Amino acid sequence: MKINATQIINETIAIFKNSGADKLFSDFVKDEDYKRLHPLPLTATSIWIDTEEFKKEIAIWDFTFEQWGKDHTHLPRYGAALVNQNGTLLKNDPINGSLMAWNRDNPDKPLIETGCRTPTALMDLPSLQPLSVFNGYWCRSNILKWNCDAKFLPHIDTVVPSPWIRLWASMNPEIIVRFYNEATGELESVEFETGRVYVVDTSLVHDAVAVGDNIYQLFLSITPNAVSLVDLVIDPKRA
Ligand SMILES: [Fe+2]
């Protein structure tokens, strides 16, 4: 089914402008760097998370998950903060939801990824230590837990030049992730390896749906000055 990607992108840009969130951007990934780091919708890195260890460890922290955002609350989508504004795990954390929706609903208190720089206790999970290569570069990051039929509708999370770099990993295979293909005008599913961390091009319109229960995903953001680090971890085979 064809989608109107231009409309989705323009609506997002309008919300960021109206809320003043766009005035909070201070640094950007240069266009040429962004292109090199995002040759594909999902670009493989050499970083892997032990998914079985992660699932054992996160079970103890189940109480830190809360319903994702204030929109579409009938969907079984839950989030917990990995990196937020002050490093404290709290309920009604604005980052446990879409920041586009937050900026739409709270135009007097705009919040963007780079306004969240402090890791929470969840970042100390032993299974997440392969991520420590990015310590000092973190911005807004979450763990999401989805049950069957949870989804994100088609959206973007950045525009180029981008004020952050997004990384993504799924701890379970039962999720379909799709990206906009300009040539066909449609969203097309993209393959991934469970437990592998990817650089994700969220300037492309994308969506996702869970086809099983207890699907854990890592949604990670790092600051623009991490470009050379990302160059180092991109898998040369880009498998
Ligand atoms: Fe997204």
Which residues are close to ligand 1, an ion, with C-beta < 5 A?
157, 202
- Residue 210 is predicted with a pLDDT of 98
pLDDT averaged per 10 residues, the chain (length 239) = 91 84 86 96 97 98 97 96 97 94 90 95 98 98 98 94 96 98 96 98 97 98 97 79
How many A from CA of 188 to the centre of ligand 1? 15
How many A from CA of 42 to the centre of ligand 1? 12
- Whether omega for the bond prior to residue 163 falls within 30 degrees of 0, making it cis, is no
Q: Which two tokens stand for residue 77?
A: 């989508």
Expressed as residue numbers, the domain containing 83 is 5-233
Is 238 inside any structural domain?
no
Is 94 inside any structural domain?
yes
- Residue 238 is predicted with a pLDDT of 61
Cα 217 from Cα 194, distance rounded (Å) = 10
How many A from CA of 78 to the centre of ligand 1? 15
Is 239 inside any structural domain?
no
Q: Cα 187 to chain center, whole Å?
A: 18
CB atoms within 10 A of CB 40: 13
In contact, 41 and 179? CB cutoff 8 Å: yes
Is 99 inside any structural domain?
yes
How many A from CA of 156 to the centre of ligand 1? 6
Structural domains counted in the chain: 1
How many A from CA of 222 to the centre of ligand 1? 15
Q: Read off the CATH number of the domain in which 151 is found.
A: 2.60.120.330
- Residue 226 is predicted with a pLDDT of 97
Is 221 inside any structural domain?
yes
How many A from CA of 206 to the centre of ligand 1? 6
How many A from CA of 157 to the centre of ligand 1? 5
- Residue 239 is predicted with a pLDDT of 47
Is 33 inside any structural domain?
yes
Cα 130 from Cα 190, distance rounded (Å) = 24
One DSSP character per residue, the chain reads: -B--HHHHHHHHHHHHHHHTGGGG----B-HHHHHHH-SSSEEEEEEE--HHHHHHHHHTTGGG-EE-SSSSTTS-EEEEEEEESSS---TT-TTSS-HHHHHHH-TTS---GGG--EE-GGGG-GGGGGGGGGTTSEEEEEEEEE-TT-EEEEE-S--SSBSSEEEEEESSS-EEEEEEETTTTEEEE----TTEEEEE-TTS-EEEEESSSSEEEEEEEE-GGGHHHHHHHB-TT--
